[in-house]
Amino acid sequence: MLLFGWRMRRRVVGPLVPIDCAHCHNAALYDYVEVRKWFTLFFVPLFPMGAAKHYMVCPICNKMLVFKTEQLPLIAGMLDATSVWRLDEMTEADYQSRANAFMDALRAVASRFSVPPQTAAQPGAAS
Ligand SMILES: [Zn+2]
């Protein structure tokens, strides 16, 4: 008997941007997460099926905000800025201005994206 099927796999790419979570009301460094359907054989994932879906996820309450396709090009730059800031190689003011620009850009390219208000996070405050 051949047992095959599919399952969703979630990959946390990294901490993305500081946000005051509108769901759990904590100040958190939201993660960038990709979710993709995988073909499985005997419950072992073998290969991905279809395109990944992209989310910002609260590390505390798991609230997920979906990225629209036109917002995806903005993500890499913010991931880089966050990792540099977490290494204390960027000032708090510079990082906050990068985060503000990122959130403004998200709103500009997709006005229906409900972006919660931001917070000032501390380096190393991520999950
Ligand atoms: Zn939350």
- Give pLDDT tens digits for 4-44: 999 999 999 999 999 999 999 999 999 999 999 999 999 99
Which pLDDT belongs to residue 2? 87
87 half-sphere exposure, CB direction, 13 A CA radius: 6
Write down the H helix ranges in the chain: 75-86, 92-109
Q: How far is the CA of 31 from the centre of ligand 1 (A)?
A: 11
Which pLDDT belongs to residue 118? 59
- Structural contact between residues 121 and 96, judged by C-beta atoms closer than 8 angstroms: no
Residues 127 and 125: their CA atoms lie apart, in Å, by 7
Residues 50 and 55: their CA atoms lie apart, in Å, by 16
Which pLDDT belongs to residue 127? 44
Q: How far is the CA of 25 from the centre of ligand 1 (A)?
A: 6
- Structural contact between residues 40 and 5, judged by C-beta atoms closer than 8 angstroms: yes
Q: How far is the CA of 28 from the centre of ligand 1 (A)?
A: 7
- Closest among 88, 89, 93, 79 to 123, alpha carbons compared: 88
- Give pLDDT tens digits for 108-122: 887 655 555 556 665
Which pLDDT belongs to residue 126? 46
- Give pLDDT tens digits for 38-86: 999 999 999 999 999 999 999 999 999 999 999 999 999 999 999 999 9
Place of tokens 């759990």: 24
